[in-house]
Amino acid sequence: MDELKEDLLLPVIGGEVVAYYTKPNRATSPNLFRWEIRLVFLGPDNRYKPAFLSLGKEQVDKLVNVLEEAQKSMNTLKGASFSGHYSKEIDSAFLWPIIEVKAEQGKIWTDFWLASGTYKFKKSLNASQVGSCITVLKGADEKGQRMINTLKALVLPNES
C-alpha cells in the first residue's frame, strides 16, 4: 500500500492526514484511493503513541459538528460567568472520541478522550484551541483530496 502523510497541525491533539492507495484484488476492481485523518495522543516523552484513532471524511464532518456544539456550550458558560461545577458529555454517535465540556471555579475547558485497549487518555483544550481544531478539521477534506491527486500522479503516472 502506498501512502502520503502530512501533519494535521491540531493544537494539543496530535494528528495527521493520510492519503493511501490500495491495489485492486481483481482485474475488475477499481484502484482505491482514500484519505483519512489519524488523531494521535503522544506520550510525555513524544516517543510513544498510547492512543490513536482513524476517521474518514464522514466521521470528520461529524467530529466538527460535535466540536462546534462543545464550543457553543463553552461560550454559553463563559457568557454566564458560571462559577460552580459543570460537566456535560456531548452526544456524538461515536464510541470514540468522547468529548466532554467542563467548568469549575470559573475555568472552562473541553476534555477530548481516546482509548487504547482498557486504558483511556484525555487531552484538555480551551475555547480557542477547540476553535482552532474546528478550523483545521474543516480543511481536512481539501488537504486529503490534494494528497490523493498527488498520490495518483505518483502511482498511476500514465493516467494523470
What single-letter DSSP state applies at residue 30?
P
Tens-place pLDDT, residues 41-91: 876 666 667 788 899 989 999 999 999 999 999 999 888 876 789 999 998
Average pLDDT across the chain, whole number? 86
- Tens of pLDDT, residue by residue over 109-124, are 999 998 887 888 899 9
Longest dimension (CA), the chain: 64
Give CA–CA dist 110/90, Å, rounded: 10
> Can you give the pTM of this predicted structure?
0.85
Whether 85 and 68 have beta carbons less than 8 Å apart is answered as: no
β-pair type (107-116, 98-104): antiparallel
Inter-residue contact 159 to 151 (CB < 8 Å):
no
Q: Specify the pLDDT at position 50.
A: 75
**pLDDT (0 to 100) of residue 2:** 86
User: What pLDDT is stored for residue 157 in this prediction?
Assistant: 72
Could you tell me the pLDDT band of residue 1, with boundaries at 50, 70 and 90? low
pLDDT of residue 28: 53
Right CATH number for 2-155 from 2.60.98, 3.30.2450, 3.30.420, 3.40.720? 3.30.2450
Non-local (6+) Cβ contacts of 112 within 8 A are 12, 13, 97, 98, 99, 122, 123, 124, 125
Structure-block grid coordinates of residue 133: 481544531
